């Protein structure tokens, strides 16, 4: 109401009938603002409902869905505050739900924040600030999609590097319990045996006693590098463990 009255240049010379006129002008002004706000709120609800329907029915790849949800929530702006944070959380949730998450090791937000200007340039795509002025149907959505996927690729690479480093530390830790001769035996077994083997055949190839091989194999078994095969509750042969098979290259690299 004050806004309408302040716009009247003759506000200091108002007659009673003019005050009444201004009063009703103010009421009309407020009603129009409320009406516009209600219509805008209804549009927001419809847009969010459309987004939910898209997520539930689309055949798009989950990473594309995550990118679309991120963009739409930021641009629809359904909340007074926290829209960006909500968008990042929900896009991350969609990735986790579909097997594209990072197993709790950080999030894409770290990479978005690394170059915040690039993030905003990509998500704005040179469009007007208001959603209904062109942002609801961007002509070149690939700008944001490419950026989002590139961040996923970069962060995935970082997670893989962290995982490999962690595995190498675990392998090195396990190998540290082996003596030189035991490491040599492990290296020999990885190079020459893909299936079962007996201590006697290995002892012949290495020109050592059967008992020596059995003792060394006991250490390999204790540290998870070999597995005994029992027949009638007696050890008849051995094979390399699944852990050893899965990390042959890493083990050989450390031993060599």
Report residue 5's pLDDT band, with 50, 70 and 90 as the boundaries: very low
Residues of the chain with CATH 1.10.10.10: 177-255
**Per residue in 9-18, pLDDT tens?**
545 454 565 5
This prediction's pTM: 0.55
In the chain, CATH 1.10.3290.10 sits at 61-176
Q: What is the pLDDT of residues 15-45, one digit of tens each?
A: 565 555 555 555 555 555 544 455 556 778 8
Q: Which contiguous run of DSSP H or E holds residue 26? A: helix 16-57
Architecture of domain 177-255: Orthogonal Bundle (1.10)
The per-residue pLDDT for 129 is 72
Q: What fold, for 61-176?
A: Fic-like fold (1.10.3290)
């Amino acid at each position: 109401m004050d806004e309408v009255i302040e716009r009247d240049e003759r506000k200091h010379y108002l007659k009673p009938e003019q005050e009444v006129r201004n009063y009703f002008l103010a009421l009309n002004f407020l009603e129009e603002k409320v009406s516009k706000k209600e219509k805008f709120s209804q549009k927001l609800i419809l847009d969010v409902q459309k987004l939910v329907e898209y997520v539930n029915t689309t055949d798009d790849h989950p990473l594309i869905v995550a990118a679309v949800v991120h963009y739409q929530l930021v641009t629809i702006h359904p909340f007074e505050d926290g829209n960006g944070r909500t968008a990042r959380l929900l896009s991350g949730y969609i990735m986790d739900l579909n097997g594209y998450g990072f197993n709790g090791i950080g999030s894409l937000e770290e990479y978005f924040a690394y170059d915040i200007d690039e993030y905003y340039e990509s998500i704005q795509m040179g469009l007007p600030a208001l959603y209904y002025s062109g942002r609801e149907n961007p002509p070149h959505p690939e700008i944001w999609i490419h950026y989002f996927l590139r961040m996923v690729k970069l962060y995935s690479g970082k997670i893989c590097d962290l995982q490999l480093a962690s595995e190498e530390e675990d392998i090195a830790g396990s190998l540290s319990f082996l003596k030189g001769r035991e490491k040599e035996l492990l290296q020999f077994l990885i190079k020459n045996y893909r299936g079962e083997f007996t201590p006697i055949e290995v002892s012949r190839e290495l020109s050592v006693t059967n008992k020596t091989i059995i003792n060394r194999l006991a250490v390999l078994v204790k540290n998870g590098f070999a597995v005994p095969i029992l027949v009638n509750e007696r050890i008849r042969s051995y094979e390399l463990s699944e852990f050893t098979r899965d990390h042959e290259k890493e083990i050989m690299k450390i031993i060599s």
